[in-house]
Chains A and B, each alone.
Chain A
Amino acid sequence: MINSILVSELGLQYPIFQGGMAWVSEANLAAAVSNAGGLGIISAMNLNAEYLRGQIRKCRTLTDKPFGVNIMLMSPFVKEVAQVCAEEAPAVVTTGAGLPNLYMKDWLSAGIRVIPVVPSTAMAKLVERAGAFAVIAEGGESGGHVGDLSTMTLVPQVADTVDIPVIAAGGIADGRGAAAAMMLGAVGVQCGTAFLCAAECAVHDNYKQKVLNAKDIDTVVTGKRLGHAVRSIRNPFTKKYVKQEYDPTCSAKELEALGVGALRKAAVEGDLENGCFLAGQACAMVHAIRPAKEIIETMFTETERLLKGAPAWVR
């Protein structure tokens, strides 16, 4: 067993969070991950309070283990979904795409452990001061919204900056990544791409096949021009987007419009032409559709073996 504060304080069996991915991380997947000993996370994505409340309650019927909710702070429904979290009090709330400080008091009063995703040391420091239990330092290898720093450089710098636990994310899909994350100063990991091909993940089969067929250089970052870069698997959509992004006659508004609904087309409809298949660089390390339990157990069997073998590196 891995000796981690995530195990002792959050009641997990393994120090692993399943990332909150829009159109992917719904109650079934979150419950499967939590039942397997990790922390499953429901994504509130861009939907309203009713959707999130339904998902939280559904998850409670599927597991008696702790689970979390991910709030995307740029959501048009952020205020109402933040309120749902305060009322339903999941064990953990993770946040992305901004500073959650406005909502933290309510969440903390409800006894929720708030764990924001941070792409820089400054953000980490600000959320620590606001009462975060831990931070998720997510490097640019990850899928979806990405920052500039890599996991290798971000995790140790955040660990040096804050006194709260650091969870590493971005590019981690096996026991080697998890063991390395701990060497970098993390107490655990968050994985998104690794769970895209979980048997319990309801994402369209075409999405899973895109991940399974992906090679190491098959992801691309788009949207930097708009200030919110995202990593996804190359396809006709990304080709078209990149062309428009570098076309000076294409306005920011037109570019923005091009991306609207593209993730839903990928995740729900499996539209290989017009969908945006968000995934991290670790997609080429995902080789099979497996139950969440198997994904987690395989990962941590390897992590334990590697960490136990660490003395072999020292004479």
Chain B
Amino acid sequence: MNTYETIAKLLAEQKDMDANDIRPDMTFSDLELDSLDVAELVMNLEDELGVPVEIDESLRTIADLVQKVDAGKA
């Protein structure tokens, strides 16, 4: 499972939605995620992948998050 698929899976579980409805270009706002949801997602991701993810203002879309996680893995 690649990073994007992991994020989509965790988000689908967290927000009770279909992973197929999630696209990389979607913003957190499109997905109706508030700061609380994003914090939750990031902590779940860290638990799943064992990679620390720092949140900042540049994080807007799922693709941004994928990039951040992959950079942390490298």
Contacts and interface: CB of A to CB of B under 8 A. Distances in A.
Interface of A: 73, 97-99, 101-102, 119-123, 125-126, 129, 147, 227-228
Interface stretch (B3-11, B18-26, B51-59): B51-59
Nearest to B40: A122
Interface of B: 32, 34-36, 38-40, 42-43, 52, 54-57
B36 A101 contact: no
B35 A123 contact: yes
B15 to A, nearest CB: 13
Contacts of A97: 35
Contacts of B55: 99, 101, 126
Contacts, number: 36
A76 to B, nearest CB: 15
28 contacts: A98-B35, A99-B35, A99-B38, A99-B39, A101-B54, A101-B55, A101-B56, A102-B56, A102-B57, A119-B36, A120-B36, A120-B39, A120-B40, A121-B43, A122-B36, A122-B39, A122-B40, A122-B43, A123-B36, A125-B43, A126-B42, A126-B43, A126-B55, A129-B52, A129-B54, A227-B32, A227-B34, A228-B34
Contacts of A101: 54-56
A42 B36 CA distance: 24
Contacts of B40: 120, 122
Nearest to B43: A122
Contacts of A122: 36, 39-40, 42-43
Contacts of A228: 34
Which 7 A-B residue pairings sit nearest by Cβ, starting from the closest? A122-B43, A122-B39, A98-B35, A123-B39, A122-B40, A102-B57, A99-B35
A126 B56 contact: no
Given A122-B36, A228-B34, 14 more contacts: A97-B35, A98-B35, A99-B39, A99-B55, A102-B57, A120-B40, A122-B39, A122-B40, A122-B42, A123-B35, A125-B43, A126-B55, A129-B52, A227-B32
A171 B63 CA distance: 40
Contacts of A98: 35
A22 B38 CA distance: 26
A98 B42 CA distance: 14
Nearest to A100: B35
Contacts of A102: 56-57
A292 B40 CA distance: 37
Contacts of A129: 52, 54
Contacts of A73: 35
B51 to A, nearest CB: 13
A129 B34 CA distance: 20
Nearest to A148: B36
Nearest to B41: A122
A98 B59 CA distance: 14
Contacts of B38: 99
B19 to A, nearest CB: 21
Contacts of B42: 122, 126
Contacts of B39: 99, 120, 122-123, 126
